[in-house]
């Protein structure tokens, strides 16, 4: 029988002792929705509310709320939050709120993410009540959580009634793929794959690879990397203009949706160091629920690509998992 961890053997409330838990990167994404009128949505999007800077005020309130969670929820631990992001989106008659909280420690940050959503939503209500006093904040819920021994958990969108059997999925997984003819035949050391794998493990991904394939066999490499539907596939190499460079074509052949902004951001970052970055033809996108990103084959190109992915990868994977609020 599943037990409530905040209740002791005598039925009294308690604060869970987490001192024996391992320190890991903890990430949680939560969401909610302020249901209002089309007029309010129009005014907020146009910054035309009587109380100005609606979204900025709500965002700051949400971040402040996350930082105060242990004071508001009595059995929560005090956490050193490394990041709190609050973002908004719009439908015809609602404003969606999504919060991502991140820390490295011995306990999760789901309550911080949920508090950020709730406080941001209540602040929105306060800001719009002069126009719509009947607005309602609905559906405050956890979307995903990562870290700790349980790894990755995603809300079951097909069944909102979470049961004890609906526990945790396996830790979020990633595959590293290297396109290198010399690496595949053993005449050239792999100088980029291990770097990517180490970067992923530092962010608590379960990593497969590096898988090394010759340029001519990269389509088979993509198929191999996709095996098991990992959350993320990062490839390196084969993105240039050489006749043998075929990674973009092999990747594009399996994509169901492209993410052109990610690929362009990687090229732009590289241009800060070398004009040769403009020659990269790397692509990024989705194949089902797997994100695939092509990085160049040079150590510098990989470093630049990972720097681009660092601030966006958690939010991107949360969107794929069912989040997706965004600013206009």
The arithmetic mean of pLDDT across residues 21-49, rounded, is 84
Residue 159: pLDDT band with limits 50, 70, 90: very low
pLDDT over 70, % of the chain: 83
Q: How far apart are the first and last CA of the chain?
A: 46
pLDDT over 90, % of the chain: 46
124 has a pLDDT exceeding 90: yes
- What is the rounded distance in angstroms from the CA atom of residue 197 to the CA atom of residue 175? 8
Average model confidence (pLDDT) across the chain: 84
- Indicate the domain borders of the chain: 24-154, 173-321
pLDDT at 148: 66
Burial of 292 (0-12, 13-18, 19+ CB in 10 A): buried
pLDDT at 219: 94
pLDDT at 60: 96
Among 76-90, 116-130, 160-174, 240-254, the minimum mean pLDDT is found in: 160-174
Based on DSSP, count helices (H) and strands (E) in the chain, helices before strands. 11, 11
287 neighbors 226 (Cβ within 8 angstroms): yes
Nearest residue to 141 via CA among 99, 105, 101? 99
Looking at residue 296, the DSSP 8-state letter turns out to be -
Known binding positions for substrate: 75-77, 111-112
Residue 189: pLDDT band with limits 50, 70, 90: confident
The per-residue pLDDT for range 220-235, each reduced to its tens digit, is 999 999 888 889 999 9
pLDDT at 108: 82
Q: Which residues of 167-204 are buried (b: 16+ CB within 10 A; e: fewer)?
A: eebebbbbbbbbbbbebbeeeeebebbebbbebbeebb
- What is the rounded distance in angstroms from the CA atom of residue 88 to the CA atom of residue 99? 9
8, 126, 132, 245: which one is catalytic? 126
Residue 144: pLDDT band with limits 50, 70, 90: confident
3-state DSSP assignment of residue 32: strand
Residue 111: pLDDT band with limits 50, 70, 90: very high
Q: Do domains 24-154 and 173-321 have the same CATH topology?
A: no
Burial of 3 (0-12, 13-18, 19+ CB in 10 A): exposed
3-state DSSP assignment of residue 267: helix
211 neighbors 255 (Cβ within 8 angstroms): no
- What is the rounded distance in angstroms from the CA atom of residue 34 to the CA atom of residue 90? 10
The arithmetic mean of pLDDT across residues 142-153, rounded, is 75
pLDDT at 116: 96
Burial of 214 (0-12, 13-18, 19+ CB in 10 A): middle
The per-residue pLDDT for range 273-316, each reduced to its tens digit, is 889 988 999 999 999 889 999 999 999 999 999 999 998 898 88
285 neighbors 222 (Cβ within 8 angstroms): no
pLDDT at 14: 61
126 tagged catalytic? yes
Q: Record the tokens describing residue 147, joined without a space.
A: 């870290």
The per-residue pLDDT for range 57-85, each reduced to its tens digit, is 999 999 999 999 989 888 887 888 988 99
pLDDT at 91: 84
150 has a pLDDT exceeding 70: no
Q: Which residues pair with 142 in a beta bridge?
A: 30
What is the Cβ-side half-sphere exposure of residue 193, based on CA atoms within 13 angstroms?
A: 20
3-state DSSP assignment of residue 86: strand
CATH homologous superfamily of 173-321 equals MoaB/Mog-like domain (3.40.980.10)
pLDDT at 156: 52
Residue 206: pLDDT band with limits 50, 70, 90: confident
173 has a pLDDT exceeding 50: yes
The arithmetic mean of pLDDT across residues 50-58, rounded, is 82
pLDDT at 126: 94
Q: Record the tokens describing residue 261, joined without a space.
A: 């902004």
Known binding positions: 75-77, 111-112
The dotted CATH code for 24-154 is 3.30.70.640
Q: Which residues pair with 236 in a beta bridge?
A: 178, 295
52 has a pLDDT exceeding 70: no
């Amino acid at each position: 029988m599943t037990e409530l961890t905040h209740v002791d053997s005598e039925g009294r409330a308690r604060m869970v002792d987490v001192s024996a838990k391992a320190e890991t990167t903890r990430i949680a994404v939560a969401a909610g929705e302020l249901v209002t009128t089309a007029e309010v949505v129009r005014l907020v999007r146009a910054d035309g509310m009587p109380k100005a800077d609606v979204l900025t005020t709500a965002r700051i309130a949400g971040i402040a709320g996350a930082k105060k969670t242990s004071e508001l929820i009595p059995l929560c631990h005090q956490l050193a939050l490394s990041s709190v992001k609050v973002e908004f989106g719009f439908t015809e008659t609602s404003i969606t709120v999504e919060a991502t909280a991140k820390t490295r420690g011995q306990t999760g940050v789901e309550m911080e993410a949920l508090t950020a959503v709730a406080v941001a939503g209540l602040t929105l209500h306060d800001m719009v009540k002069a126009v719509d006093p009947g607005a309602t904040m609905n559906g405050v819920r956890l979307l995903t959580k990562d870290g700790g021994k349980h790894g990755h958990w995603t809300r079951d969108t097909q069944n909102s009634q979470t049961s004890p059997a609906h526990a945790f999925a396996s830790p979020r997984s990633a595959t590293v793929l290297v396109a290198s003819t010399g690496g595949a035949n053993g005449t050239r050391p792999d100088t980029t794959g291990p770097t990517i794998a180490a970067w992923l493990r530092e962010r608590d991904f379960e990593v497969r690879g590096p898988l090394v394939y010759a340029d001519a066999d990269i389509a088979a490499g993509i198929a191999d990397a996709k095996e098991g539907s990992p959350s993320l596939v990062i490839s390196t190499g084969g993105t240039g203009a050489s006749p043998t460079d075929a990674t973009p074509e092999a990747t594009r052949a399996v994509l169901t949706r492209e993410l052109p902004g990610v690929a362009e951001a990687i090229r732009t970052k590289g241009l800060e160091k070398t004009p040769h970055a403009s020659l990269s033809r790397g692509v990024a996108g989705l194949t089902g629920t797997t994100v695939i990103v092509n990085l160049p084959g040079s150590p510098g190109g990989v470093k630049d690509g990972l720097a681009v992915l660092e601030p966006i990868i958690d939010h991107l994977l949360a969107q794929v998992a069912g989040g997706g609020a965004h600013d206009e």
